[in-house]
């Protein structure tokens, strides 16, 4: 799928706004081997625009798992629930991090489907997130 060109200026705005951390799983770009990517929160094929309000910084693993999806099935209720929207939702209202483990728990159905679809608790992330949470330097919006 072809993607719209994202200018250097727009990419910098998105990275700076996110403090260089994935806006889904919170992992800082400095801890990853692959650069974070600019994610269309609502994918272009669903009409999402290449504008600040529809862009988020995502690590390559979250971005790959999310693909062009905008919703998933909540396994607890069977309902179709939209994914977390970093520009419209508050991270802290939808997720909570357990400092002792680095695991992110959902506070809402939106949190639940997003954690599940994006595989936010992938094991490779946990030691880093645990360390950053305990040092109180995770960016949680
Ligand atoms: Zn991520």
Domain boundaries, the chain: 8-134
Query: Residue 74 has what pLDDT?
Result: 97
Query: Residue 1 has what pLDDT?
Result: 46
CB proximity list for 24: less than 8 A, separation 6 or greater: 56, 58, 59, 62, 66, 84, 86, 114, 118, 120
- Listed residue (129, 126, 118) closest to 62, CA to CA: 118
Query: Residue 136 has what pLDDT?
Result: 83
Query: Residue 59 has what pLDDT?
Result: 97
- How far is ligand 1, taken at its centre, from the CA of residue 140, in Å? 13
Query: Residue 14 has what pLDDT?
Result: 98
Ion ligand 1 residue ranges (Cβ < 5 Å): 22, 24-25, 59, 62
Q: Which two tokens stand for residue 141?
A: 């919006």
Q: What is the DSSP letter of 55?
A: E
- How far is ligand 1, taken at its centre, from the CA of residue 56, in Å? 11
Q: Tens-digit pLDDT profile for the chain (141 aa)?
A: 456 789 999 999 999 999 999 999 999 999 998 999 999 999 999 999 999 999 999 999 999 999 999 999 999 999 999 999 999 999 999 999 999 999 999 999 999 999 999 999 999 899 999 999 988 887 777
- If you search the block for the tokens 């992992």, which residue do you land on? 27
- How far is ligand 1, taken at its centre, from the CA of residue 47, in Å? 23
Q: What is the DSSP letter of 110?
A: H
Query: Residue 2 has what pLDDT?
Result: 54
- If you search the block for the tokens 């949680």, which residue do you land on? 140
- If you search the block for the tokens 């936010």, which residue do you land on? 120
């Amino acid at each position: 799928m072809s993607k719209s060109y994202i200018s250097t200026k727009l990419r910098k705005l998105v990275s700076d706004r996110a403090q260089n951390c994935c806006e889904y799983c919170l992992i800082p770009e400095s801890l990853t081997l692959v650069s974070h990517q600019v994610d269309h929160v609502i994918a272009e094929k669903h009409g999402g625009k290449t504008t600040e309000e529809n862009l988020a910084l995502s690590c390559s693993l979250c971005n790959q798992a999310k693909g062009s999806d905008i919703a998933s099935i909540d396994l607890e209720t069977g309902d179709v629930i939209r994914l977390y929207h970093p520009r419209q939702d508050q991270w802290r209202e939808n997720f909570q991090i357990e400092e002792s483990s680095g695991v992110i728990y959902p506070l809402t159905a939106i949190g639940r489907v997003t954690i599940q679809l994006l595989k936010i608790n992938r094991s490779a992330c946990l030691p880093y997130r645990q360390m950053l949470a305990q040092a109180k330097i995770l960016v949680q919006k």
